[in-house]
Amino acid sequence: MSLLQIFEGPLFYIAVTVFMIGATWRILGIIAIGRKTDISPPKASANVGFIAGNLRHFLPRKVFAKRTWVHIVAGYSFHLGLFVLVIFAAPHITFFHDRIWDIRWPALPRWGLIIAAQFAFAGLIMLWVRRFSDPVMRLISDWDDHIGSWLTFLVMLTGCLALQESHDALKATHMLFVDIWLIYFPFSRLMHAMTFFLSRGYTGATYGRKGMNL
């Protein structure tokens, strides 16, 4: 068995299993801690607030944008770029189809992929650069933040280095980092990709109940 076969075969399935179980455990664990039932008479629906809070926090507010535009631009650039890369890259669609589920969806043309990659890289590099040059981020960052950034960077980088799709070794390198990333994910702050829904939602529910303006 070649390394590529291991990395996209057994190791990949192990990684996905760790990822799924770990992430579910974390999410259920947070929910299981529980919240006290609020008996004060509500002004509006907490459930609507949960959803509204989730949606509202996608949109930055104008007053703050003057001070935070770099993060807004870099953050959206990275996350949207990465999302497009993961979901719409032709090799990924084939991989999902072959390895996970027998469905296909339209792929992005190659030039679209390159542009998405450039947005993703520009955003990620910017965010990481700020992490060590902004006094605020320097103070509050820990090793988990840096490892998360670097692992994601390496996954993206090895993926793009393999763009020619002519060497199995490059693909194997990419797959190895994907596997490491998947295993690291549930134990780390990368989990924010899932917990954001709860965090925004709980705040939104509290606010919604009190009839607070979003």
- Residue placing its CB nearer to another protein in the complex, 84 or 201: 201
- Residue placing its CB nearer to another protein in the complex, 103 or 164: 164
Q: How far is the CB of 89 from another protein (least distance, A)?
A: 13
The helix-helix angle for 168-184 and 10-33 (nearest 10°) equals: 20
CA 149 to chain centre: 11
| 8 Å CB contact between 204 and 50 | yes
- Unique residue bearing structure tokens 């992430």: 23
| DSSP helix/strand/coil, 57 | coil
- Residue placing its CB nearer to another protein in the complex, 29 or 106: 29
Q: How far is the CB of 102 from another protein (least distance, A)?
A: 25
- Residue placing its CB nearer to another protein in the complex, 101 or 111: 111
Structure tokens at 110: 């190659």
CA angle 34, 38, 39 (to 5 degrees): 145
Q: How far is the CB of 29 from another protein (least distance, A)?
A: 3
| 8 Å CB contact between 122 and 77 | yes
Q: How far is the CB of 84 from another protein (least distance, A)?
A: 15
- Residue placing its CB nearer to another protein in the complex, 93 or 212: 212
CA 136 to chain centre: 23
Q: How far is the CB of 107 from another protein (least distance, A)?
A: 16
